[in-house]
């Protein structure tokens, strides 16, 4: 059974993952309003990934005999100056989430909760990918200065992203 401290920390992370999804969905809505349907699609898929991250923790807490307690999700920002600035925020946000995951790992170690420590390794790896995706896209957008035909080509490319739920582990 999961202990109270670990349960509370994972519940907070469930909220953080849902907020990530909400933030990216808000960015997606903004991109749609600017007729950047590829960027909007990429962010919408990202929001689905965040929902998956939250639900994987949701299931884990239940599996360990804990209780999931959902809290209010903070209102996300709704407007950005430009897409470079938006993706700077995506990258900074993912770095923040990595720090949150690392903190959860430290709690699991302190609590000698080996099962949760193992469970969290999936997120540790996932964050490597999340940061790489965000910084890669940010670099591309900076390269074309977030505008012009280069940006339209990136937008077209981002239209092809589809959500593929990771295989159950």
By CB under 6 A, name the binding residues for ligand OFO.
17, 20, 50, 53, 94, 97, 130
Report how far Cα 71 is from the mean position of its chain's Cα atoms: 18
Please report how close the Cβ of residue 94 comes to ligand OFO at its closest, in angstroms. Answer: 5
Please report how close the Cβ of residue 144 comes to ligand OFO at its closest, in angstroms. Answer: 24
Residue 94 vs 155, nearer CB to ligand OFO: 94
| Beta carbons of 114 and 67 less than 8 angstroms apart | no
Dihedral pair phi/psi, residue 67, rounded to 5°: -125, 130
Residue 77 vs 156, nearer CB to ligand OFO: 77
DSSP 144: T
Closest residue to bound ligand OFO by CB: 20
Place of tokens 């929902």: 51
Binning the chain into helix, strand and coil, the percentages to the nearest 5 are 75, 0, 25
Please report how close the Cβ of residue 13 comes to ligand OFO at its closest, in angstroms. Answer: 9
Q: In terms of Cα–Cα distance, which of 100, 26, 15 is closest to 54?
A: 15
**Alpha-carbon span 31 to 41, nearest angstrom:** 9
Please report how close the Cβ of residue 153 comes to ligand OFO at its closest, in angstroms. Answer: 25
Residue 50 vs 113, nearer CB to ligand OFO: 50
Residue 130 vs 155, nearer CB to ligand OFO: 130
3-class secondary-structure state, position 169? coil
Q: In terms of Cα–Cα distance, which of 42, 1, 20, 157 is closest to 100?
A: 20
Tokens (6 digits) for 12:
């907070």
Residue 13 vs 66, nearer CB to ligand OFO: 13
Please report how close the Cβ of residue 28 comes to ligand OFO at its closest, in angstroms. Answer: 14
């Amino acid at each position: 059974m999961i202990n109270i401290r670990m349960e509370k920390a994972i519940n907070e992370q469930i909220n953080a993952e849902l907020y990530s999804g909400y933030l990216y969905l808000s960015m997606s809505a903004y991109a749609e309003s600017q007729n950047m349907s590829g960027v909007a699609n990429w962010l919408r898929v990202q929001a689905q990934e965040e929902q998956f991250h939250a639900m994987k923790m949701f299931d884990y807490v239940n599996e360990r005999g804990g209780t999931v307690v959902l809290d209010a999700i903070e209102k996300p920002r709704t407007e950005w100056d430009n897409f470079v600035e938006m993706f700077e925020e995506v990258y900074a946000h993912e770095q923040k989430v990595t720090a949150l995951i690392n903190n959860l790992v430290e709690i699991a170690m302190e609590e000698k909760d080996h099962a949760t420590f193992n469970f969290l390794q999936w997120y540790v790896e996932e964050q490597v990918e999340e940061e790489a995706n965000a910084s890669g896209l940010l670099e591309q957008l900076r390269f074309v200065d977030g505008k012009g035909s280069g940006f339209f080509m990136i937008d077209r490319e981002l239209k092809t992203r589809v959500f593929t739920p990771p295989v159950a582990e």
